[in-house]
Chains A and B, each alone.
Chain A
Amino acid sequence: MIKNITYKPFGVKAILIEWQSIIDDKILEDILLFKQKITSTNNTEIVDIIQGYNSLTIVYEHFVSNFNDEVHQLKLIYASTLKKKKQNNFQWVIPVCYDVTFGIDLEEISQKSNLAIDEIIQMHSSALYKIYFIGFLPGFLYLGGLDSKIYFDRKPNPRLNVPKGAVGIGGKQTGVYPNKSAGGWNIIGKTPVNFFDVEKENPCFAKAGDFIKFKSISLDEFYQLEKEIQVKKYQLIKTLHNA
């Protein structure tokens, strides 16, 4: 339990709950637990819950007629104990080909930082990344845990077409473009894995609180995996990861 959580109206159909303005694992845990408690009340008035680094936004079906009453209810839920078992978190292994064919900005960031391309790849693929939440695009994971030695500022002019599966570094963040999109991150590789599949009951395999580990693969392996994924023969490697 963390003190100093604030509640603000966000329009007339949503309430914004905010924690201290820092990116912090304890805050994430608290947010996820609160979210699970709210979900388990099965309140049909609540139609969505939007998570950020230090916030939850509760979206209601109708106008919140009495803000103070609603906040009081939320505070009671926060203070309650979760009856259900805490949900499992997984660690997902994401194969990434860091070949310069795909890692089109590797040479530039290597020159600017005086780090060898291999060192950048090594640092990027050895860290364990925590999923804070999903936003920006369907299936775009906000990851924490990038090695500070490979923080690289976003490109001054965003590209209009970053391909699906591109792995990038934007400032202190790293992530995968789940679909073709405009974007200003430095592109260091590509994964053949689908991060968003609308045909699946759960369109994104990962969720906030899970972990991501990138695994460096060769060009040949990339094309092989791409084929396997296309014919749905590939099974992502996941392991249980409960703190």
Chain B
Amino acid sequence: MLKVLKSGFFTTIQDKGRVGFASVGVPISGSMDSYSADLANSILNNSVNCAVIEITLGACKLEFTKSTTICISGGDFSPTINNVAISLNKRILIHPNDILSFSKINYGIRCYLAVKDGFLSEEKLNSRSFYPNITKDFLLRKGDSIPYKEVDNGIETSKASIKINRNHFMTKVIECYKGPEFDLLNNHQQKEIFNTTFTISKDNSRMGYKLNEAIENSLSQILTSAVLPGTVQLTPSGKLIVLMRDCQVTGGYPRVLQLTEKAVNQLAQKTTSAVFQFSLISI
């Protein structure tokens, strides 16, 4: 078991999410930065479908009751095992009663804790990703225990470490395609969208990021239609909302941009007050 001693800001279990349930209104969910989650699993030779723990800005404390091997990828919040610093993106052997905690936030917003063969929490609609009214709870709380498989001598560790391109966390350029309603914007609005430096508002979550700056908006709402993670909606006030992994399956605001998968992962490592510009790429 992994015991939650301290829950932190927002700690959840995530995997690749639930695809195929749009007809009953179920969001996809899944790791916000799927690139980092996949990396942590890959380093452990796990399938990318293995469930990981998504930790927001550290501040949580977790105790392992059984031997295994773990890997942490994504944001750097100075992870330690029993108060000894450990590296990111590296296999780490775990013994019973080892305690994982974090201290200084160096970069990024979310990190991923992967364990050999994945965390084995309840599966609902083919996924372990937390979501209200689908999984028992929507975040991990103090006192929760999450099962995982005991791996006696761990798996082979290695001195090799992987160097991650910091650009993934630092970039101020968010790549996107035209969204379905992009062509309804006039020339001026189209230019404005790519020339404005946008700031992430405090209204940001796994569902979506609202941006502070407003652009001129003359578009009317659309008949409710599909939205996807990475869809950028233009609201009546002229403010943009970038939908993230827990977004609803449908929406009624014009969909002016669609982020690339990479851009969704990069944005997932940013939070309130971070600034960036959209950059258009062709399909």
Contacts and interface: CB of A to CB of B under 8 A. Distances in A.
Contact of B249 (A10, A18, A135): A135
A55 interface: yes
Interface of A is mostly: loop
Contact of A136 (B21, B25, B125, B225): B25
Interface in A4-21: 8-12, 14, 16, 18, 21
A179 interface: yes
A1 interface: no
Contacts of B274: none
B250 interface: yes
Nearest to B264: A11
B20 interface: yes
B248 to A, nearest CB: 6
B222 interface: yes
Contacts, number: 114
B177 interface: yes
A133 B250 contact: yes
A88 B5 CA distance: 51
A52 B249 CA distance: 10
Contact size range, A? 35 or more
B250 A198 contact: no
Nearest to B135: A198
Given A9-B177, A11-B228, A198 B25 contact: no
B225 A54 contact: yes
Contact of B248 (A12, A53, A54, A135): A135
Interface in B227-268: 228, 230, 248-250, 255, 258-260
A10 B228 CA distance: 9
Nearest to A64: B283
A179 B24 CA distance: 13
B23 A12 contact: no
A90 to B, nearest CB: 15
Interface in B19-33: 19-27
B226 interface: yes
A11 B229 CA distance: 10
B19 A50 contact: no
Given A11-B177, A12-B283, A47-B19, A203 B24 contact: yes
Interface string A39-71: 000000001111111110101000000010000
Contact of A55 (B26, B133, B226): B226
B261 to A, nearest CB: 8
A134 interface: yes
Contact of B226 (A21, A52, A178): A52
Given A59-B19, A136-B250, A21 B25 contact: no
A-B pairs with lowest CB-CB distance, top 7? A135-B250, A52-B225, A57-B226, A50-B226, A53-B223, A11-B258, A204-B24
Given A47-B20, A51-B23, A134-B23, 10 more contacts: A11-B260, A47-B19, A49-B23, A50-B250, A54-B225, A57-B225, A57-B226, A135-B224, A136-B248, A138-B25
24 contacts: A9-B177, A10-B180, A10-B226, A11-B177, A14-B228, A16-B180, A16-B225, A22-B223, A47-B20, A48-B21, A52-B223, A53-B223, A55-B223, A59-B228, A133-B23, A134-B23, A135-B25, A138-B24, A140-B25, A142-B224, A198-B124, A203-B21, A204-B24, A207-B23
